[in-house]
Amino acid sequence: MVSDTIAAISTALSSSGIGIVRISGDNAFDVINRIFVTSDNKVITKADSHTIHYGHIADGDEIIDEVLVMVMAGPRSFTAQDTVEINCHGGMLVVRRVLETALKHGARPAEAGEFTKRAFLNGRIDLAQAEAVIELINSKNDYARKSSLRQIDGEVSEIVKELRKRILYEIAYIESALDDPEHISLDGYAKKLEGNVVDIEKKISGLISSADNGRIIKEGIKTVILGRPNAGKSSLLNLLLGEERAIVTDIAGTTRDTLEENILIDGISLNVVDTAGIRESEDIIEQIGVKKAFASADDADLILYVIDSSDKLDENDKEIIEHIKDKKKIIILNKSDLGVVTECDYIKEKTGQDAIVFSAKTKEGYTALLDKIRELFIEGSIGFNDEIYITNARHKSALMEADDSLKQVLASIEAGMPEDFFSIDLMNAYAKLGLIIGESVEDDLVNEIFSKFCMGK
Amino acid sequence: MAVLKENYDIVVVGAGHAGCEAALAAARLGLETIVFTISIDSIAMMPCNPNIGGSSKGHLVRELDALGGEMGKNIDKTFIQSKMLNKSKGPAVHSLRAQADKQRYTYEMRKTLENTAHLTVRQAEVSEIMVDNGKIVGVKTISGAQYFAKAVVLTTGVYLRSRCIYGDVSNYTGPNGLKSADLLTDSLIKNGIEIMRFKTGTPARVDKRSIDFTKMEEQFGDERIVPFSFTTDPDSVQRKQVSCWLTYTNEKTHQIIRDNIDRSPLFSGAIEGTGPRYCPSIEDKVVKFADKDRHQVFIEPEGEYTNEMYLGGMSSSLPEDVQYEMYRSVAGLENVVITRNAYAIEYDCFNPRQLKPTLEFKKIDGLFSGGQSNGSSGYEEAAVQGLIAGINAALKVLGRQQLILDRSSAYIGVLIDDLVTKENKEPYRMMTSRAEYRLLLRQDNADLRLTEIGYNVGLIDQERYDKLILKKEQIKGEIQRLENTTVGANPEIQNFLELHNSTPLKSGSTLIELIKRPELSYELIEAIDRNRPKLSADVCEQVNIEIKYEGYIKRQLQQVEQFKKLEKKKLSVDFDYSQVKGLRKEAIQKLDMYKPMSIGQASRISGVSPADISVLLIYLEQNKNKLQ
């Protein structure tokens, strides 16, 4: 439990100059030796403790980055295990690629707080810090669980569920035949299974490539645009996007659901959610939209609150202000081109901050808005937890392991192995896919066997 | 009035399949043991199916035998047909099943019990347990007699407050009309034991002379019989076998059942106990799997000297007249005469989460429990628990360390761990899919896995142990020899390979590499293996399996290594989880309810998350002395 080899990015995922990937565990040196290339074919061993080496990280023939590798042999490291730290040239993309290469070559993604936990379990942190560690693990796990479920793309999650269902059915079929060979026959089953597994494997490969494109989870600072109907939320989004994405009309209540877009501002990734306008409404669909808007706001890292400054604040605005007053937010007085008549003092009093005078039409205040976002990010007021990225890495590695298991099933079918070997690898694929949607195995199989197949004396 | 008082080391309550193993193990370890039964004529009775073994159950019996239990030897003496199931599948799921002569099975087991030193067989109903200060001190029978003991093993099977039901007929008896034990439950409840109510059922027995076998398919035994016990000489069991027969239900049968479903006590609610999903009654099958147009019915002889036949697959609790009508709708049973009705049986059992993995109650020191009364089902599941409970009761009295088999070492370990760690809502049956390391837990290597343990416990004699060591050495030596034996790409070898549709060699190869090819085996390459030593069939089998499935076996061994790390971190059953900061409420409740013996066991309790386990690990480190 404490000695398999884990890896994670240990620097903040920002656009900083240098990123560090840390690898720790019994096989840390094996992993680095598989991916680290130097001009003199250096092989890292325990003897290299506390030295630094120059070279490249490579995935097979492909060079990923020019790096410095720091070597710390256990017990003289943070975790008291063999540890290497790869100092990469930076840029989020490169650091990620380095981590992925390490994962591909034998490390697994670290759990939330796992380096710290190891450090503690191996006596590197004193006892007084134990409770802090527990809290860290709990909070990080909560966050990871939440973000894992919140950020997984709905469509991806549906696909994973469907694939698991299909895999489980196949396992249950094999297992019920093994348990009750006189009732259920496996004659000719391998051929049928092969077709199904090929299809499932293809779908998983597809998910892996979407993970490469970062589409499995939505990364970035979760930014929610709020405001009453027709305050100009969609216009703001379009301005940020530079394209007409949301439907914009002059009829209040046009955006009935939430829209999501990813926007890059000077390397800061914003995951922007446009919401339905918030107002008392008889329209059921619109009510759902409003409910969703508030729910999104509760989850948000940053709120962009758009006010129609050509009008007075109404009850809806007051409700919004009440709802978001303790959140990280930027207040935008839109439609300044029509003349600002709204109650600026009230807003300042309630929220404790100045609003930006803004016009989506004339672009007045646009630069000020971007500056404000940049400022909040740099001073650290907003940012996204690196757990989000780790979550993605974990999903990807789970997908890859599931994929490997399915390929193993195909190899076993090809080699004419008996059917009971198929179900071992199918089960592994099932368990790995479960990690992505936060479901464990428990008694799924036994339940499936009894519900789908009639067995028994 | 003077009451009878006697002293023993160990009392065993019940002489079914669990009780016999418990009593024999304790007595064989030299402890004065008394086993109580409601009827001495019914020792090791088989009130349901007339066979031992079957998928994964066969594994249990082989494991029991490897540890020094009796069931394997007893069925070898008394079987009338034997079959290795799943022979076309991988070695991990091969499983032995033998039809028993029920009468002889009972008779032989009784003979063994009666002739074992230190063992007393006593017919009497135990009505109370005697507990002093949280420690068991003995039992009382209904006559008031007191039997003092240092440890007590409950193996009460389905006899506690049992009720047999078919239609609107309900008899407060045990199986086969035997007396039920109606008093013990109250005494157990008084001592804080939580009782559950489970249900199971059995089909009718019929007169062989009334069956038309020409309408059925004959089911033969294997040509070459493999015995259950590792001590039985295979040549000694190649006897004449009796056939079973296969027929099917049909649409008419199903219609009869549907028409009368309202008269079934299971559907009318007259039965409250929870029944097992894996041996459903025929009415259950017809309702749940409405799309199936027929179900198999196996006609199995109950013995060699009786005309009674068992209707496997058609257990029921429908009324007598419906039973007749539905059985007679089946091909070959048109004129069938019932000798015993099918019935459902309800009984009290113990929630097994009250037990340690040693099968001792956490609450009552020295009180053990094994078998169907722990919420399991099946003769084999019962027997292995009886063996473990008996061994641990004896070891406890002897002041020796308890025996726990973990999930990576035996199906027995999987069975007991599942019982004491998971929520059981129905009688538990062993299944190969429950064993996550089943490639390692094969029926063919049960002796290699467990006989040394049985020897250390004291149930395996020196001679058998020496044989095991020799076998282990031969397997290792032969694999090494094959590793070091190279054959060249010469015409003889190439011809051999061509003959078996195998790719010719480009250069030299070790014999191991050739055996690993799917189309070849250890047996096949004998033709090109000049210096092969003469080895027994079971050594050859091990050599072949270990080489052919090496990749899979290695992967499972790695998983086992991970698994063992958490099993080794022990937890005390007295531990107060509420004092661990950071554990979630649900986790505290569950941990408190199950009181796991190790972090590994804790991690398998549903409702305990990986984060909770991290918190526990940290707490463990922090307070090493308090918990371990």
Q: Does domain B470-555 have CATH number 1.10.10.1800?
A: yes
Measure in Å the smallest separation between the Cα of B298 and chain A Cα atoms: 8
Q: Which CATH superfamily is domain B569-627 in?
A: GidA associated domain, C-terminal subdomain (1.10.150.570)
What percentage of residues in chain B have a pLDDT greater than 70?
99
Q: Do B86 and A178 touch (CB under 8 A)?
A: yes
Mean pLDDT calculated for residue range B292-306: 96
Whether the Cβ atoms of residue A177 and residue A419 lie closer than 8 Å to each other:
yes
Q: Do A445 and B292 touch (CB under 8 A)?
A: no
Domains of chain A by start residue, with CATH: 6-125 (3.30.1360.120), 153-214+386-452 (1.20.120.430), 221-378 (3.40.50.300)
**B483-492 confidence digits (pLDDT tens):** 999 999 999 9
CA distance B169 to B172: 10
Nearest to A420 among B89, B289, B617 (CB): B89
A425 and B CB contact within 8 Å: no
Nearest to B621 among A121, A445, A454 (CB): A121
CA distance B585 to B303: 56
B564 and A CB contact within 8 Å: no
Q: Which residue has the tokens 């914009």?
A: A248
Please give the angle made by the CA atoms of A355, A359 and A362, to the nearest 5 degrees. 145
Q: Return the pLDDT at A274.
A: 77
Supply the ipTM of this predicted assembly.
0.87
CA distance B300 to B205: 10
CA distance B583 to B244: 56
Q: Do A4 and B315 touch (CB under 8 A)?
A: no
Q: Which residue has the tokens 């489980």?
A: A168
The SS3 call for residue A181 is: coil
Measure in Å the smallest separation between the Cα of A393 and chain B Cα atoms: 19
CATH class of B205-346: mainly beta
Q: In b/e form, how buried is each residue of B198-235, taking b as 16+ CB within 10 angstroms?
A: bbbbbbbbbebebbeeeebeebebeeebbbbbbbbeee
A366 and B CB contact within 8 Å: no
- Which residues, 6+ apart, have CB-to-CB distance to A326 below 8 Å? none
Q: Bigger pLDDT: B612 or B340?
A: B340
Give the chain A residue whose CA is nearest to the CA of B434.
Answer: A446
Over A71-133, what HEC string results?
EECCCCCCCCCCEEEEEECCCHHHHHHHHHHHHHCCCEECCCCHHHHHHHHCCCCCHHHHHHH
Measure in Å the smallest separation between the Cα of A378 and chain B Cα atoms: 32
Residues of A in contact with B617 (CB under 8 A): 1, 117, 121
Q: Rounded mean pLDDT of chain B?
A: 94
Residues of B in contact with A415 (CB under 8 A): 518
Give the chain B residue whose CA is nearest to the CA of A442.
Answer: B606
- Positions in chain A short of pLDDT 70: 1-2, 12-17, 90-92, 112, 125-154, 211-220, 243-260, 262, 264-269, 277-289, 377-392, 441-442, 455-457
Look up the pTM and report it: 0.81
Q: Do A137 and B614 touch (CB under 8 A)?
A: yes
Lowest mean pLDDT among B11-15, B27-31, B204-208, B609-613: B609-613
Q: Return the pLDDT at A379.
A: 63
B414 and A CB contact within 8 Å: no
Q: Do B298 and A182 touch (CB under 8 A)?
A: yes
Residue of A178, A425, A448 to mutate, interface with B, max B Cβ within 10 Å:
A178
Residues of A in contact with B277 (CB under 8 A): 450, 456
Residues 533-552, chain B: which have Cβ within 8 Å of A?
552
Give the chain A residue whose CA is nearest to the CA of B246.
Answer: A182
Measure in Å the smallest separation between the Cα of B384 and chain A Cα atoms: 19
Residues of B in contact with A423 (CB under 8 A): 433
**B515-543 confidence digits (pLDDT tens):** 999 899 999 999 999 999 999 999 999 99
Q: Return the pLDDT at B91.
A: 95
Whether the Cβ atoms of residue A182 and residue A377 lie closer than 8 Å to each other:
no
Check whether B99 has a pLDDT greater than 70: yes
Give the chain A residue whose CA is nearest to the CA of B299.
Answer: A457
Q: Which CATH superfamily is domain B5-157+192-201+350-457 in?
A: FAD/NAD(P)-binding domain (3.50.50.60)
Measure in Å the smallest separation between the Cα of B571 and chain A Cα atoms: 17
Q: Bigger pLDDT: B355 or A244?
A: B355
Q: Domain locations in chain B?
A: 5-157+192-201+350-457, 205-346, 470-555, 569-627
Q: Bigger pLDDT: B330 or A278?
A: B330
Residues 471-530, chain B: which have Cβ within 8 Å of A?
518-519
H/E stretch holding B588 reads helix B585-594
Residues 441-460, chain B: which have Cβ within 8 Å of A?
none
Q: Is the peptide bond before A75 cis (omega within 30 degrees of 0)?
A: yes
Count of H-run helices and E-run strands, chain A = 14, 13
Residues of B in contact with A421 (CB under 8 A): 90, 552
Nearest to B55 among A180, A186, A450 (CB): A180
**B196-210 confidence digits (pLDDT tens):** 999 999 999 999 999
- Which residues, 6+ apart, have CB-to-CB distance to B363 below 8 Å? B134, B191, B192, B193, B354
Q: Do A178 and B432 touch (CB under 8 A)?
A: yes
A183 and B CB contact within 8 Å: yes
Measure in Å the smallest separation between the Cα of A123 and chain B Cα atoms: 9
Residues of B in contact with A418 (CB under 8 A): 88-90, 93
Token pair recorded at residue B262: 């309202």
B434 and A CB contact within 8 Å: yes
Measure in Å the smallest separation between the Cα of B587 and chain A Cα atoms: 13
Residue B627: pLDDT band with limits 50, 70, 90: very low
- Which residues, 6+ apart, have CB-to-CB distance to B491 below 8 Å? none
Pairing of strands A19-24, A51-59: unpaired
Mean pLDDT calculated for residue range B95-103: 97
A445 and B CB contact within 8 Å: yes
Nearest to B518 among A113, A181, A415 (CB): A415
The DSSP result for A304-316, as a single string, is EEEEETTS---HH
Q: Do B296 and A417 touch (CB under 8 A)?
A: no
Q: Do A179 and B614 touch (CB under 8 A)?
A: no
Q: Do B422 and A416 touch (CB under 8 A)?
A: no
Give the chain A residue whose CA is nearest to the CA of B51.
Answer: A457
Residue of A117, A401, A457 to mutate, interface with B, max B Cβ within 10 Å:
A457
**B121-177 confidence digits (pLDDT tens):** 999 999 999 999 999 999 999 999 999 999 999 999 999 999 999 999 999 999 999
Matching fold, domains B470-555 and B569-627? no
The CA R_g of chain B, rounded to the nearest whole Å, is 26
Lowest mean pLDDT among A32-36, A278-282, B80-84, B395-399: A278-282
Q: Do B279 and A442 touch (CB under 8 A)?
A: no
H/E stretch holding B246 reads strand B244-248
Check whether B328 has a pLDDT greater than 90: yes
Q: Do A450 and B86 touch (CB under 8 A)?
A: no
Residues of B in contact with A455 (CB under 8 A): 278
DSSP B226: P
Residues of A in contact with B94 (CB under 8 A): none
Q: Return the pLDDT at B195.
A: 96
Measure in Å the smallest separation between the Cα of B289 and chain A Cα atoms: 7
Size of interface A-B (CB pairs under 8 A): 122
Cα–Cα distances in Å, from B529 out to B177, B482, B500, B540?
62, 9, 15, 13
CA distance A251 to A94: 46
CA distance B214 to B246: 11
Residue B585: pLDDT band with limits 50, 70, 90: confident
Q: What is the dihedral of CA A171, A173, A176, A177, to 10 degrees?
A: -120
CA distance A31 to A105: 6
Residue of A129, A179, A180, A439 to mutate, interface with B, max B Cβ within 10 Å:
A179
What's the sign of the alpha-carbon dihedral A394, A76, B612, A126?
A: negative
Q: Do A456 and B606 touch (CB under 8 A)?
A: no
A128 and B CB contact within 8 Å: no
Q: Do A423 and B433 touch (CB under 8 A)?
A: yes
CA distance B24 to A387: 58
- Which residues, 6+ apart, have CB-to-CB distance to A321 below 8 Å? A305, A313, A347, A350, A351
Residues 121-150, chain B: which have Cβ within 8 Å of A?
none
Lowest mean pLDDT among A21-30, B173-182, B321-330, B576-585: B576-585
